[in-house]
Structures are given as C-alpha cells and as structure tokens.
Amino acid sequence: MRDSKLKVGIVGVGGIARDQHLPAWKQLPFVDVIGAADVSEAALERVGDGFCISHRFKDWQELVRLDFDIVDICTPSRTHMPIALAALESGKHVLCEKPLATSADEVRTLRDASRRAARVLMTAHHYRFQPVSRQLKALIDAGMLGEIYYTRAQFLRRRLLPPRTTFIERQLSGGGPVFDIGVHILDLAYWFLGAPEPVSVSAFVDAKLAHRKDITGGWGDWDRERFDVEDFAAGFVRFANGTALMLETSWLGFQPEREFVRLQCFGTQAGLIWPDGIVTGETNRSPWTLRLDEVPQTSAYQDEITQFALAVRDGLPSPVPVDETLQVIRILEGFYESAAQKREVNLT
C-alpha cells in the first residue's frame, strides 16, 4: 500500500471525530479521508465542509460499500459491532472508538472476522499512546517495579453525567460509566500489567444518584425516565498470575474533584502513579521518589491514529491487540454479572 494513499471513511462525525480523529487523519500525508456518514445532515455538512470530505451519507451502510481501505467508527457504543463487522466483511481495516463492543461474544465475532479478512482491527484506546503512559510502560517492562501485585484504577467524576440518550440508555450505550470512562482506565491498567488472564470479578454496580431530581449535572440535565444504566461501579478483579486490581468509576459521585483519574501500581521493587509520572521505592533502607522528566507534550490521539495507519500501510499487527480488548470486555461484563448475582463470578 506504499504506492498510493490510504483511503478512510468515518462513521459518526460528533465531537470525538470532529475534534480528535479527523484532525489526526488530516496530519498524515499518506492518508485521504474520502467519506463520512452520520444520521445528522447538519453535522455531516459542517464536518464535510470543514474537512473537505466529498462523499457524505446518512446511512453508514452506503459508506461501507465504497471502495476504500479503512473505516473509523465514532458512533454510540451499541452500534460499534454491526458497523465494524460489515466493514471487516467488505475488506476494510477498522479503527473503533472504545468500547469495541459491549459483550465478549461480540468482540470474539469481530476478532474472528478480522482474522478471516486479514485486516487490522483496533480499539481506539488513546491512553496507551500518551507519552507518560509509554514511558511508564517501558519502566515496567524493564522490571523496575518487580512483581506488580496490586493495582488501583480510578476514573471518577462529580456532576459530569453525559445527558445524551446515547450515554444514558442501555440500548444505545451498553452501560454507564463502566463502558464510558471505566473502560479507558481499565485498558491502561491491563496493558501495564502485561495482559494477564482474568479469573474472577466481584463488583458493585448501581445508580444511586442519577434518578434524583434534586441532583443536577455540569453538562446539563438528563431524562430520568429514560436513564437505565449505572452511575457508579466498583469492582475487584483477580488474575491467574496472582495479581489483583480494583476499578472505581462514576459520573456523579460526591467528591471534591470535578474529575479524578488515577492509576497506581504496587510492585515488589517499586510503585508508580499515572498520569503524574511518579515512581517510588526503597533501596538499602532509603526510600526514594522519582518523577519522570521532560515528558513530550504530544497528542495521544494523533499517535494512536498514526500507529494504526502505519500498521495498515506496512502490514503490521494491531497496536492494540484485539485479544487484549476481549479480556477487558470480559472483565467489564463480569462487573454487571457480579452485581446482578451479588457475588463474585468466575471468568474462566
């Protein structure tokens, strides 16, 4: 594919596509964005004109039938699977916003389709591509932390419930903060840990605040009658290699911070805190704390899309392996199962 430009079609031209994906694609000299699809004619016109996209469709199926190389999916979570499957079966490579799908069975279906088609399939987990993430992962892989025995992953918001139906209705979103923001920090933690096999989940998942009329949100009000997902979740995950992880995520929780995002790994030789870039340890009875210096200020979205495009162009594996995405979705699926059964559930 080095002799001609890669042709890209994007499905869904809302905020994440307009503000992150399309600007990133436009920075690549070996790529042309030739098509876009969205149910909103106004959004299509605005984004199509702004990014000089010639082919515009209200029906994504018309876009997928075009002769091009890549489909970039930026639509509500529950729509990811049918769009990705159709794209793969028509011979396209697929980049898809998180979550790739909202069930492990759907991820398996997409994985198998990508293998049959010999096409790159990647979930757009941009946290993996932040410079500080890359630097901390390099230290982990070099053995600086020793054995990581426990990880705490937190993505907690106060009064930041997205009011749109694409987030608050399960038929469109698949879930609440678990699939909206929890998947981000869980995927990063799972990558840091080296993708071990998850064996069990014990979780609490509920909507404790979202149905109250005396609670408001910083992004506007929402329809309480249509809200049928969680607003908070916390769960404990065990892995086959003996390590354990705690994940906490919420949209409305009473906390001082508007948003609190933190990943902390505890190892036998050192510990780390992301995104602060802090590593702590003790040598010869002397405790020490290090902070990463000169972390590059580059766009994680740009690097994510660049690495995906290079994988397509050069015949390389997916930068975010679909088997790792499968395990992340298995864990989150376990959250809902454990909460429903009010007990720990096995994933093996």
Q: In this predicted model, what pLDDT tens digit does every residue of 267-296 receive, in sequence order?
A: 999 999 999 999 999 999 999 999 998 777
What are the C-alpha distances in Å from 172 to residues 101, 212, 227? 11, 22, 11
Instruction: Give the DSSP letter of residue 176.
Output: S
pLDDT confidence of residue 301: 97
Per-residue pLDDT, averaged over 245-262, amounts to 98
What is the structure's pLDDT at 294? 79
Question: Could you give the count of Cα atoms lying within 13 Å of 162 in the half-sphere of its Cβ?
Answer: 16
pLDDT in tens, 25-69: 999 999 999 999 999 999 999 999 999 999 999 999 999 999 999
pLDDT per position as a tens digit, 208-217 = 999 999 999 9
Averaged pLDDT for residues 156-180: 97
Structure-token pair, residue 17: 């596509």
**What is the pLDDT at residue 153?**
98
Better pLDDT: 294 or 126? 126
Categorize the per-residue pLDDT at 297 as very low, low, confident or very high, splitting at 50, 70 and 90. confident
Has residue 121 got a pLDDT over 90?
A: yes
C-alpha span between 208 and 231 (Å, rounded): 7
Would you say 147 and 122 are in contact if contact means Cβ atoms under 8 Å apart? Answer: no
pTM of the model: 0.96
Confidence label for 227 from pLDDT (cuts 50, 70 and 90): very high
Q: Tokens standing for 244?
A: 């354990």
Q: At what angle do helices 322-341 and 183-192 cross, to 10 degrees?
A: 120
Burial 226-238 (b: 16+ CB within 10 A, else e): ebebbbbbbbebb
Domains of the chain as residue ranges with CATH: 6-125 (3.40.50.720), 128-300+329-346 (3.30.360.10)
The rounded mean pLDDT for the chain is 97
Q: Which residues contact 288 (CB under 8 A, 6 or more apart)?
A: 280, 281, 282
- pLDDT value, residue 2: 52
pLDDT at 1 over 50: no
User: What pLDDT does 298 receive?
Assistant: 85
**What is the arithmetic mean of pLDDT over 226-247?**
98
pLDDT on residue 231 = 98
Q: What is the pLDDT of residues 299-328, one digit of tens each?
A: 999 999 999 999 999 999 999 999 999 999
